[in-house]
Amino acid sequence: MNGDANLHALTGAYALDALEPAERAAFEAHLVTCAECAEEVAGLRETAARLAGAARLAPPAALRERVLAQVALTPQVAPAAGVPAEPAAVPGGPAVASGPAGATAATGWSPAAAPVGLAAGDDASAGIGAPARTGGRRVPARRPTWWGWAAAAAAVVLVVGGVLGGSLAVRQHRADQALAAAQAHMMVIATAPDAVSHQVALGTSHVVMSHAMSAAALVGEDVPMPGESGMTYQLWMVHADGSTAPGPTFVPDRGRVLAFVEGDLAAVTALTVTEEPAGGSSAPTGPLVASVAL
């Protein structure tokens, strides 16, 4: 690539219309000569467009604390001389997502594997699209500042459904917070310096993963419902020795899905999806519907 190296860090903010006028002008001039940045912006804009169709989401437990902890550890673009760095923050607060049989909900920024599911159901839902990267191609790092999270949350049209309890205004507020938090979680993974994306043969789906963030996300659309009534999809982590660890369960909502797995992924060689009874299983019992090598 060419040009000022700092400009390469602005692709995410540009795609979300979160740049100041001077920054935007400089980046657009750079964009004309940088094919890699242009490709990345196109992929991020596709992701933002898919966010516009996202349904309500139940984010992982303790998400706000996890994001703030990671922001504190993540190098930011250096501010101008004499200008203090902006404080980091994320919209919304934590909420607990239900997990499958044999799975443990994530708490804090722990290295222990802790799968978290976001899917259609009582407190679950479907999700967002993935960056347009295939075949394990690395996604360059982008700056994850507080206005980036806010722009991601503001870029979507919220679709609120289901029963969360309380008045309509309370349900709207909870759904808004949950969706914004889940978007922030996805951004943490997708903007990691080592983030990669793999295509998955399940509708139009991708797995986006980062060893640095100890997390991976399955995101997709046009995903068919499980073949049998009362069945659900379940995500599995496959280790080098062939053993499996249960991940979250999920059911498409208007064809869209989003499921997270979190923890030390160094020994995970593949992610697979099977059909399982409602509530999930401790070991795979149903037919294999998708698999992706990591």
Whether 56 has a pLDDT exceeding 70, the answer reads no
- 47 against 87, higher pLDDT: 47
Whether 89 has a pLDDT exceeding 80, the answer reads no
Averaged pLDDT for residues 214-223: 89
pLDDT in tens, 278-293: 999 999 999 999 999 9
Whether 27 has a pLDDT exceeding 90, the answer reads no
Helix, strand, coil content of the chain in percent (nearest 5): 30, 20, 50
Distance of CA 180 to the CA centre of its chain: 11
Show Cβ contacts of residue 283 under 8 Å, excluding neighbours closer than 6 positions.
102, 244, 246
pLDDT (0 to 100) of residue 170:
62
Q: Look-up: residue for tokens 């160094």?
A: 266
- Dihedral-angle region of residue 287 (phi above 0 means left; psi in -120 to 50 means alpha; beta otherwise): beta
pLDDT (0 to 100) of residue 21:
83
Averaged pLDDT for residues 9-26: 78
pLDDT in tens, 94-116: 322 334 433 332 222 222 333 44
Q: Look-up: residue for tokens 């242009």?
A: 38
β-strand partners of 292:
271
Percent of the chain with pLDDT over 70: 50
Whether 44 has a pLDDT exceeding 60, the answer reads yes
Whether 163 has a pLDDT exceeding 50, the answer reads no
Phi, psi of 44 (to 5 degrees): -70, -35
- 6 against 52, higher pLDDT: 6
Measured distance CA(128)–CA(48) in Å, rounded: 9
pLDDT (0 to 100) of residue 239:
94
pLDDT (0 to 100) of residue 66:
56
Per-residue pLDDT band at 220 (split at 50, 70, 90): confident
Measured distance CA(46)–CA(285) in Å, rounded: 36
The model's pTM is 0.51
Measured distance CA(127)–CA(208) in Å, rounded: 13
When the pLDDT of each residue in the chain is averaged and rounded to a whole number, the result is 66
The residues spanned by each domain of the chain are 5-76+84-293
pLDDT (0 to 100) of residue 14:
79
